[in-house]
A and B are shown apart, each in its own frame.
Chain A
Amino acid sequence: MTPHLGRRADLLRRTFSSLRSRIALALLSLWLLAALFGPLVAPWPSLSTDLADGLRGARGSAVLVVLVLGLAVPTGWGLGLLAGAGGRGRDGALARVLELASFWPAVVLVPLLATSLALPRPLLLGLLIAIGESCRIARLVRGELRRRRAAPYVLAARALGASRLDVLRTHVVPHSLRPLLVAAAFAGATTVALDSALAFLGLEGPDPRAWGGAIAHALTRGTLAVWPLLGVLTTTASFWVLAEALDDALDPRPRLTPE
């Protein structure tokens, strides 16, 4: 095993060392498998409405989470690096752009853009959530880089004659991975929550597929959509637990506790 792969394996081992993080991964995997293969094992019409809604919602949410993470993580990281590692002018300009882009509530934009852009609703929703999440990730990465640039070891490296690029490459940029991965896990939770919220408000579009829509529909009938509720609850909680496990795993220093 190469040292690179060894580090990855070590990170995975530390991330899933606790029972909670293993349960979270198992729950997310279960929902993903159910969404992918559920209809093959038991066709939706043969299931109860509640369970069918749960599986349909899982499929919709899985597609959306993959889309959002696929777009937001590289974009947010790139923007954060550009802003945090750049000079004052570039940092300021990018920070202003991030500020401008970060306020566009999906609740307003989704239904409006749906009428003007000929994009499928999930793709549009994914793009809009990805924009918001990439801004958030970029802000976190930028903040981390700015903090690291003023750290004593960075100042020491500069004082010893290391070039600015070398300092960034070896001492600053690697530290951006921690906020990036943790923010990505939180972005998964935010995506599920936002998707459900918009569907609950009836902004889902003509083809209902999200858990929120099923919850709203059940509430109007005076019942509870158990499977969709469980879906939102368990996936959001799992993403949270994974975020925390990643956060711990990416900081290997021992933690002391007061007596």
Chain B
Amino acid sequence: MRHALGRILWIVPSLALVSAIAFFVLAQAAASPASLDADVTTERRLRSLPLFFNPAPADVRILSLQAVAGLATSDGAEARHAATLARLGGAALPHVLPILETLRPDGRARVALALLPVARRMRLIREDTAPDADEAILFWQRFWEDHALDFRPAVARRAVRRAALEASTARRDEIRELDTYALAELMAALGPVRTRADADRAARLSLLLEPLSRACSRIPADASVPQAAARVMRCRRWWAATGSEYVALDGPAKVTAMVGDTRYGKWLDEAVRFGLGLTYRGTPVLTELVRHGRWTLILVAAGLLGGYFGGGVVGLLAGARPGRTLDRLLCPLALIAAAVPPAALAAWLSAPEVPLPRASAAIAVMVLPGFALASRHQRALMRHALREEPARTLLAFGAGPLALARAHLRDTSAAMLSLLGSDLPLLLTAAFVVERAAGLAGLGEFTLEAIERRDLAWLMALALLGTLTVGLAQIVSDALLSRLDWRLHTSFALRAEGSE
């Protein structure tokens, strides 16, 4: 029991290790855009991040001050710096405007002009006006004198809370004047969309988010709950990828960002927030696993239960009476079952001429390889058992084949169980093949699509679930093995006493 518990606890670090290795391998492969629905900025930002550790996570303070320094010194990339300031918007103002006075006049002018698109977005100046440098500097100095106190988290939180409750022009103007400074609060208020009320709230907030990000499109008032949820999901994914660029990171937040603001950290964050992450279709992986996993689960279960257990019993009986009818029948049958390609058999059984439902045909095909493997293996084990001393003693006492089979069920089953865990990946591959051949919409078809689109979230989820399943199966089979096999039991007992 203590051994089994220890093994179960081992699964947690194992999963962490597997997730890191799998992420490394898959991240090398996922070089092309994965998502049908993802925003280009989101994908670009994700790809620009380091894989596992970010020694200098970029927050709004660092990014805006870098842009200001670039503009002030005129380093040749002024257009890029101006675009950065325009993108960071209101969130950059508390870091840029207080130091505007300290810049040299020409640099100050360039920074003030670069911030004009932000002023237009905030509707503080008209679209058709083009102030000169002096006017721009004066405008921003006055703006900061009047509004410095508004750029505080508490003010933004209050404004967003009011806007979420009521969609009036005054509320909208309040948020508009904070621009991207209110993004963190807006995203927090967006929340998950499950009910009609959630969808209405999301629609109200989407009016405020739309000017701030292309990923957050407007949600029509008459949008259904799933439609609203899909748009909110896209917006939240963008925020998960780029959010740290719009907030100032201090103290523990900065330390967390060193791990969190990486590709692995973003995947982990997405996996926790959105049910194992988002697929290339923009839906949660967990939802798709539940939707598509049914057939795969049935097929793998059929392979395990029908194949292994059925085959095990038949193999045991055949092995107990070598050369008799059952044994003679089993040998060619098991060989055929093992050798016939499942794909061809599934396709043939699913053909319209064969009067068998496709699902039944697929299950029958899945049972065959497991049956063949288990029956042959169990038969071989029983044949070995007949050479051991206990079998000779039983035979000397006149035991029949059934008594022999019953007596050796325990130790021959133990060896069979040890194979179960390691056969699961093969069964999964067989299930994918059978699904495709029989035209069943299982995990196989979705996985092949995901591979084609380099869908990192789906493949990561598959690797983790697989590791978890195989790990648990191996623990169960090892625990049963040590219970069923007296020799292993002795070994454990000797270890416990310190004899080994």
Report A's interface with B, CB cutoff 8 A.
87-88, 96, 99-100, 102-109, 111-113, 115-116, 132, 135-136, 139-140, 143, 146-147, 149-151, 189-190, 193-194, 196-198, 200-203, 211-212, 215-216, 219, 224, 229, 232-234, 236-237, 240-241, 244, 247-248, 251, 253-258
Do the beta carbons of A147 and B485 come within 8 Å of each other? Answer: yes
Interface contact B25-A189, CB-CB below 8 Å: no
Q: A194-B429, A211-B341 given; name 4 further pairs at CB < 8 Å.
A: A105-B425, A106-B425, A108-B459, A201-B444
**Chain B positions within 8 Å of A251 at CB level:** 384, 387
Q: Is the CB of B487 within 8 A of A151?
A: yes
Which of A143, A150, A200 lies in contact with B418, CB distance below 8 A?
Answer: A143
Residue of A nearest to B489 (CB): A150
Can you report 25 A-B residue pairs in the complex whose CB atoms are below 8 A from each other? A87-B500, A99-B474, A100-B17, A102-B474, A103-B466, A103-B467, A108-B451, A112-B25, A112-B26, A112-B454, A116-B29, A132-B425, A139-B418, A150-B488, A194-B426, A196-B343, A197-B342, A197-B430, A200-B343, A201-B436, A201-B444, A237-B338, A248-B383, A255-B383, A258-B401
A102 and B487 form a contact (CB under 8 A) = no
Q: How far is the CB of B51 from chain A (nearest CB, A)?
A: 13
CB nearest neighbor in A for B15: A100
Is there a chain A Cβ closer than 8 Å to B386's Cβ? Answer: yes
Known interface pairs A193-B341, A197-B429; A219-B347 also in contact (CB < 8 Å): yes
Asked if residues B343 and A116 are in contact (CB atoms below 8 Å), the reply is no
B131 lies within 8 A of chain A by Cβ:
no
The residues of B with any CB-CB pair to A shorter than 8 Å are 10, 14, 17-18, 25-26, 28-31, 320-323, 335-336, 338-344, 347, 376, 380, 383-384, 386-387, 391-392, 395, 399-401, 404, 415, 418, 421-422, 424-426, 428-430, 432-433, 436-437, 444, 447-448, 451, 454, 459, 462-463, 466-467, 469-471, 474, 481, 485, 487-488, 490-491, 494-495, 500
Question: What distance in Å separates the Cβ of A188 from its nearest Cβ neighbour in chain B?
Answer: 12
Minimum Cβ distance to chain A for residue B470 (Å)? 4
Q: Are A107 and B429 neighbours in the complex by a CB distance under 8 Å?
A: yes
A108 touches which of B321, B392, B462 (Cβ 8 Å): B462
CA of A198 to CA of B340, assembled, Å: 15
Top-4 shortest CB links A-B? A116-B28, A237-B339, A150-B491, A103-B470
Chain B residues whose C-beta falls within 8 Å of the C-beta of A87 in the assembled complex: 500
| Complex interface: chain A residues within 8 A of B436 (CB) | 200-201
Report how far A149 CA is from B487 CA in the complex, Å.
9
Determine the chain A residues whose CB is within 8 A of the CB of B466 once the complex forms.
103, 105
Asked if A150 and B487 make an inter-chain contact with CB atoms under 8 angstroms apart, the answer reads: yes
Asked if B399 and A240 make an inter-chain contact with CB atoms under 8 angstroms apart, the answer reads no
**Contact status A197-B343, CB under 8 Å:** yes
Contact B429 A105 (CB under 8 A): yes
Pick the contact of B341 from A140, A147, A212, A257 — CB < 8 Å?
A212
**A113 in contact with B29 (CB, 8 Å):** yes
Provide the residues of chain B in CB contact with A236, threshold 8 Å: 338-339
B195 to chain A, nearest CB (A): 37
Given the interface contacts A112-B26, A240-B339, A254-B387, does A88 sit within 8 Å of B488 by beta carbon? no
Q: How far is the CB of A26 from chain B (nearest CB, A)?
A: 16
Q: Which of A100, A105, A251 has the most CB of B within 10 A?
A: A105
A interface, over-half SS: helix
Q: How far is the CB of B84 from chain A (nearest CB, A)?
A: 32
Residues of B within 8 A of A111 (CB): 451
What is the CB-to-nearest-CB distance from A184 to chain B, in angstroms, rounded to a whole number? 15
CA distance A99 to B477 in the complex (A): 12
Residues of B within 8 Å of A100, CB to CB, are 14, 17-18, 467
Q: How far is the CB of B338 from chain A (nearest CB, A)?
A: 6
CA distance A251 to B388 in the complex (A): 11
* A146 and B488 form a contact (CB under 8 A): yes
Residues of A close to B383: CB separation below 8 A:
248, 255
Q: Are B429 and A106 in contact (CB under 8 A)?
A: yes
User: Is the CB–CB distance between B422 and A240 below 8 Å?
Assistant: no
Nearest CB of chain B from residue A36's CB, rounded to whole Å: 23
Whether B432 lies near A107 (C-beta < 8 A) is yes
Please, which residues of chain A bring their CB within 8 A of the CB of B31? 115-116
Closest A residue to B493 by beta carbon equals A150
B307 to chain A, nearest CB (A): 15
Q: Are B422 and A102 in contact (CB under 8 A)?
A: yes
CB pair B447–A115 under 8 Å, yes or no, is no
Please give, as numbers and ranges, the residues of chain A lying within 8 Å of B25 by CB-CB distance.
Answer: 109, 112-113, 116
B339 partner, pick from A106, A135, A233, A258, beta carbons under 8 A:
A233
Chain B residue contacts of A105, Cβ below 8 A: 425, 428-429, 466
Min CB gap A97→B, angstroms: 10
Partner of B433, one of A147, A197, A232, A254: A197
Indicate if the CB atoms of B428 and A215 lie closer than 8 Å: no
Query: In the complex, A194→B424 CA distance in Å?
Result: 13
Complex Cα–Cα for A144 and B178 (A): 70
Task: List, in ascending order, chain A residues with CB within 8 A of B491's CB.
Answer: 146, 149-150
Distance of A112 from chain B, by nearest CB (Å)? 4
> With A115-B29, A255-B387 given, is the CB distance from A234 to B339 under 8 Å?
yes
- Report chain B residues within 8 Å CB of A240: 335, 338-339, 376
Q: Which residue of the partner chain B has the closest CB to A149?
A: B491
CB distance from B214 to the nearest CB of A (A): 29
Looking at B320, B339, B429, B430, the one whose CB has the most chain A CB atoms below 10 A away is B339
Select from chain A the residue with minimum beta-carbon distance to B404: A258
Q: How far is the CA of A165 from the CA of B383 in the complex (A)?
A: 31
List the A side residues contacting B339 at CB < 8 Å.
Answer: 232-234, 236-237, 240
State whether A147 and B474 are in contact (beta carbons under 8 Å apart), knowing that A107-B428, A258-B321 are contacts in the complex.
no
Known contacts A139-B418, A224-B344; A99 and B430 CB within 8 A of each other: no
Choose among A88, A103, A115, A139 the residue with the greatest number of B CB atoms under 10 Å from its CB.
A103
**A87 closest partner in B (C-beta):** B500
Check B448–A201 contact: CB distance below 8 A: yes
Question: Can you name the residue of chain A whose Cβ is closest to the Cβ of B369?
Answer: A193
Residue from B321, B344, B462, B469 within 8 A of A219 (CB atoms): B344
Min CB–CB distance B456 → chain A (angstroms): 10
Residues of chain A with a CB closer than 8 A to B415's CB: 143
Evaluate contact between A257 and B322: CB separation under 8 angstroms. yes
- Closest residue of chain A to B21 (Cβ to Cβ) is A100
In the complex the two chains form, is B487's CB within 8 Å of A232's CB?
Answer: no
A237 and B343: CB pair below 8 A? no
Nearest B residue to A248 via CB reads B383
